[in-house]
Structure 1
Amino acid sequence: MKEHCFAIINRVERNAVIKLTVYYAYILFIAMNTREVACQEFWSQLDKDTRGSLQFGSDGSIYSTNSKVRKSTDKGESWIQIAPDSIYGRTFLTESGLLVVCRPYVYELGLGLVYVSDDDGNNWRKWQGMHASTVWRDEIWGEATCFAESRDGTLLMGMDGAGVYRSSDNGLNWHWAEPEPSAHFGYGIHDILVVDDSVILVANNEGLHRSTNNGRSWVDTEFPYRRPWNIEMNSNGTVYASTQGALYMSEDKGITWIPLDFESGNFIVINNNDHIYAVQGLYGSKLYKSLDSGLHWEETGISGRPREYDSFYSLDCHPDGQLFATFLNGGLHISNGSTTVGFDPYPLEQHAESYQLLQNYPNPFSEHTTISYSIERGGLVTLAVFDPLGREVLSLIDGERKAAGMHRVELGSLRLNPGLYFYKLSFDGHSKLKRMIVK
């Protein structure tokens, strides 16, 4: 009888375990499929072959290159080839409508040819002087990585291995844009940004560099990271630069930089409403967005990519606000709707906070550091420094009325002994605390 009871109990336990296992498997199945549906709601695949950054015309046309130069007038639904098979490579489209294709450098031939069309691909011509040479820098060497057109029509081309070249006669003649002797100007050029009528920024392996004469000469900026990848600017003139591990902003045309509280990757784009979309991590898999100039960030759903693809290869924003992305293993995708007009499949929660306290930079510091904060409306602000025991050791702002916007406070190390400290911002009845280290 006793053995019979134990047998019944064992059967009941086994049945309970089986039911529990089936239940959790069902929950996991629902979660995975919900995740997949959520991603499919955000992205729709256009093709499996396209990989790389896109170029957008003023009329909404899209230009893409793989092994062929192609154009789409229906947002990637269909494509037509607009160049012979012999013309392929990175494609750039200038503000004036000049279409530039840079064929990759071929070591055996010593060539990195550049072709141009000013009639939307109907006719092509080769730019002279665009090939490797034993006389380094007298002729353009290497492969083009980025292209820009300044406000006065000057063409700027970043070349991997050769720096930046400029042309003031629509590409007939090119000259090396020589940096100042004090500039640590590297030659792995990643991006070029035209800020205004005279200021241009260049991101390369050595940092961010600035020109105030349309690219004739360059000087270093105070950018704190050696390898910036991507530079973007919003409608207010605020510049954002992404690195493999951080995101920075500049409100003075690239002279000084402030770190944002976000771990960035290679790609950032800004739409017409100044909403920022950024991929986190080097060739990362998560897409984040900020609706308030980079102060707050939220992930766009469970994942920013379809599940079957590993990581982003490029991210672009169409003039109407739709996002285009390519993935290392997954071709071209488009977001399902505009990011500027009523499209928000994963809306940001409304932040009750009316202020933001950023991490001081540099940190740790030995001479001076900058504490930055922002408030959404004017009000009384208090900012103080405390030791690890909670004792106030320094008052930086004592209940002063500040206007809405971003503010910075400079702090010198002579006012503090080496060690760990905390700084606290109080505003609107709430407070935030961050730590810093004096070396």
Structure 2
Amino acid sequence: MKKVRLLFTIVAFGCLYSVNIAFAQWETVMTDIIPSGIYISPDYDRDRTLFVLDNSRVLWRSTNEGFTWTKSLVAQDMSTPEFLRFEMSDEFSADGTAFIIKKNGEVLKTVDSGTTWNLLTDIPSKITDIASRPVTDQFKYTYALTAIGGPEDLFATENFWESWNLVQNVAVQSDGYPELKISSEAASAEIIAILAENEILLSTDGGKNFYNSFNQGFETAFSDLAFSPSFSQDSTLYVSDWKNVWINHHAGNPLTWTKSELQMESMPVKLAIAPSAQNNLTVYATSAEKVVKRSFDGGTSWENFGSPLNMTTSQIAVTEDAPYIVFLGIVNDDLTSGKLLKSELINGAYDIQSLQSVKCYPNPATGETMLEFTVQKPGNITLTIFDVLGNTLSSRNLGIFSTGRQAARISLTGDLAITGLYFCRLQSGEESHTVKLAVK
């Protein structure tokens, strides 16, 4: 790694900065796409990797928080939607394993983080969904549900798809593509869930037996299911239909579902969940109502989180670790174009953000630039600069800052004098903010 000489001068502007946390401040990270799926690496805090499915035809990949994108996979026939679902290994950062499930039941696999893909030939049947979890350092336990043009069978493998065992034939009432989900917990607390249009099936014994989790009338077809990130402690899972969110605090007991007062307007509700303050959960819900709703108390009460660009919201995802960045897919009314947005505002993990309003000026720059930021909470701040490939060029501790408007002067010498795009990341505790820097 080449050494980069950076000169910093710390400047204090000495003015306090107020923040309104009721609404999100959205940043556009991708344009000219129709987001049909957003997938965040389980190790996003380390590898900064996410994938976006564009109109079920193109899979895009970013390894630097969405600043630059490359095509990971393109459909063979671009005239029709081809890709159904995408699944990453729980150890994706280490093993680079992910799967693409096609609507015809074929499965493609990558072991190099999406650079190359290979068609799996030794699979039991046409696959509709995949869910996996690590068991030991050597083995990964993967489940596959087959429900396309045949019986709904649940298969399992413990040796990276080399051999399969039929776990159970599952009678799923579905005319479409049932989803397979698994709680990301230890085996003792594991639940396997199958989400179909009109029923939710759960298993607590590794798929050997399933039971219907609800016996009360839901108003419309189901659209999403999400487990609490701390399911082994709170036994909570969420299900959405086309209008409401339903909550169960008893591991899916059929008699204990309650309706949350959400009341969307007859479009599929998508869910995303993150840990929150006061041992609660922050729940996000979005539909085609051009608004995202957020609950700080696990779904008891809701507020509007933002109405980005007055466009239809299609997909939502949130990182698993602080600072819980929210990614949102939006499309125009005629579904011909859209964008991917992100918000780094707090979502319940903090009372006040430590850092606000981070920017470089001038930008583009030659010779030097000022990295300006507002400190809301006193603390130690570090600055890391890396290139478009994610290579770290420099990491430096800037010291402890008091509240107020601050800045660091960066001298663009050595390798940083070369024309190109760079990224400056400020870190305060678990919170980080990254901005682009163009050198001309």
TM over 0.5: yes
Distance 1:298 1:326, change over 3 A: same
The amino acid of 1:63's aligned partner reads: F
Structure 1: which 5+ residue stretches go unaligned? 1-37, 106-111, 131-138, 346-439
Distance 1:344 1:191 in 2: 37
Is contact 1:93-1:100 (8 Å) kept? yes
Distance 1:127 1:221, change over 3 A: same
Distance 1:243 1:275 in 2: 19
Larger RCO (CA within 8 A; separation ≥ 6): 2
More helix by share: 1
Shift of 1:185: 4.0
CA offsets per residue over residues 51-95 of structure 1, 9 Å max, x none? 122222213310223333332122212112345765973322121
Distance 1:278 1:122, change over 3 A: closer
Is contact 1:195-1:201 (8 Å) kept? no
Distance 2:347 2:121 in 1: 41
Structure 2: which 5+ residue stretches go unaligned? 1-21, 333-337, 354-440
The amino acid of 1:268's aligned partner reads: L
Structure 2 residue 343 is matched with structure 1 residue 335: yes
Higher Rg? 1
Alignment match of 2:38 (pick from 54, 60, 84): 54
Shift of 1:165: 3.5
Is contact 1:321-1:340 (8 Å) kept? no
Distance 2:71 2:339 in 1: 18
Distance 1:171 1:50, change over 3 A: farther
Alignment match of 1:293 (pick from 291, 298, 306): 298
Structure 2 residue 208 is matched with structure 1 residue 216: yes
Hey, what does 2:53 align to over in structure 1?
Answer: 65
Shift of 1:344: 8.1
Is contact 1:193-1:232 (8 Å) kept? no
The amino acid of 1:203's aligned partner reads: L
Distance 1:333 1:344 in 2: 22
Distance 2:259 2:339 in 1: 33
Distance 1:342 1:44, change over 3 A: farther
CA offsets per residue over residues 286-330 of structure 1, 9 Å max, x none? 2111111111111224xx2312x2x22111112341111112332
Shift of 1:251: 1.4
Hey, what does 1:118 align to over in structure 2?
Answer: 111
The amino acid of 2:53's aligned partner reads: T
CA offsets per residue over residues 144-178 of structure 1, 9 Å max, x none? 3x431145433233456354542213223456654
Distance 1:327 1:157, change over 3 A: farther
Relative to the length of structure 2, the TM-score reads 0.57
Structure 2 residue 90 is matched with structure 1 residue 95: yes
The amino acid of 1:194's aligned partner reads: S
The amino acid of 1:65's aligned partner reads: L
The amino acid of 1:229's aligned partner reads: S
The amino acid of 2:286's aligned partner reads: V
Structure 2 residue 196 is matched with structure 1 residue 204: yes
Is contact 1:211-1:219 (8 Å) kept? yes
Distance 1:337 1:300, change over 3 A: closer
Is contact 2:155-2:168 (8 Å) kept? no
Q: CA RMSD in A?
A: 3.2
